[in-house]
Amino acid sequence: MCCRVAQGSAKDKAKKKVKAKGQTPDVAPRLNLAPTQDALVAVHESGDTQLEAMRWGLIPPWAKDKSIGAKLANARAETIDEKPSFRKPFQRRRCLLPVDGYYEWESRPSGKQPVYYTMHEGDLFCLAGLWETWTAPEQVTEPELPGLELGQAEPETLRTFTVITTTPNRLAKRVHDRMPVIIHPDDYDLWLSPESQATELKPLLRSYNAEPMREHYVTPRMNNPRFEAPECVQPIAL
């Protein structure tokens, strides 16, 4: 699982990390970003890498309503080209989620203790993801005034994404049996390009080298996705 990340750095830093072109969407930075919330996501569009605002939790185009997105916050690397929800976006709609770090939870006698994973130099890194565009089914609206005809509501359209997970490296496996796929900067273009083939992409869906990564315990207050403060990423001693 990977259902909480920190995306608190300045947007210009994320733009530089993925070498994005064009304007950057106005998305609020979060140190406790959770599914159903908006994030900055890098995609390949119009021949360039661009940053877009997307909602975390992939909603397939065939979904009848958006509630399914909460269940599709993650996609397993091992079956990504088999599952109906992920097969097509894996072929053409891949994305990167620039983050400062991500969280997992360690089971302790006192309860679930959050652990924060980051890079030792404090640099941004990018998680592999897939994205989709979902348009809500058309709905008939009641007329605002008596005597008027029923009308068609403007359909809601959302861009959504999921984070891909894989087997953990030696650092992450102490806490959890999964970790998000971290894409090396040298492979950003390969991952994002709609022309890349599965034979080139599948080898990227492996656990990241543990050497440059670090972990530390953080406040249990961030267990609540509504809690948002610098305290979310600050080390604590147990």
Q: Could you tell me the residue ranges of all domains in the chain? A: 5-138+155-233
Q: Is the pLDDT of residue 149 over 70?
A: no
pLDDT at 122: 87
Q: Which residue has the higher pLDDT, 186 or 149?
A: 186
Say if CB 89 and CB 132 are below 8 A apart. yes
As given in the structure block, the two tokens for residue 79 are: 């079956």
pLDDT at 169: 97
Residue 8 neighbours by CB under 8 Å, 6+ apart: 29, 30, 31, 100, 233
Q: Which residue has the higher pLDDT, 18 or 153?
A: 18
pLDDT at 140: 47
Distance, first Cα to last Cα, the chain: 24
Tell me: the pLDDT tens digits for 53-79? 999 999 999 999 889 999 999 999 999
Say if CB 217 and CB 115 are below 8 A apart. yes
146: alpha, beta or left? (left if phi > 0; alpha if psi -120 to 50): beta
Tell me: the pLDDT tens digits for 99-129? 999 999 999 888 899 999 999 888 999 999 9
pLDDT at 91: 95
Tell me: the pLDDT tens digits for 122-141? 899 999 999 999 998 875 45
Instruction: Give the integer Cα–Cα distance in Å for 147 and 219.
Output: 58
Q: Please identify which residue in the block is written with the tokens 């897939």.
A: 130
Which residues make beta-bridge pairs with 30? 7
Work out the pLDDT band at 193, boundaries 50, 70, 90: very high
Work out the pLDDT band at 148, boundaries 50, 70, 90: low
pLDDT at 106: 95
Q: Which pTM was predicted?
A: 0.92
Say if CB 59 and CB 70 are below 8 A apart. no
Q: Is the pLDDT of residue 179 over 60?
A: yes
As given in the structure block, the two tokens for residue 107 are: 């089971």
Work out the pLDDT band at 10, boundaries 50, 70, 90: confident
Q: Is the pLDDT of residue 175 over 80?
A: yes
| Mean pLDDT to the nearest integer, 164-168 | 97
Query: The domain at 5-138+155-233 falls in which architecture?
Result: Alpha-Beta Complex (3.90)
Tell me: the pLDDT tens digits for 38-54? 999 999 988 899 999 99
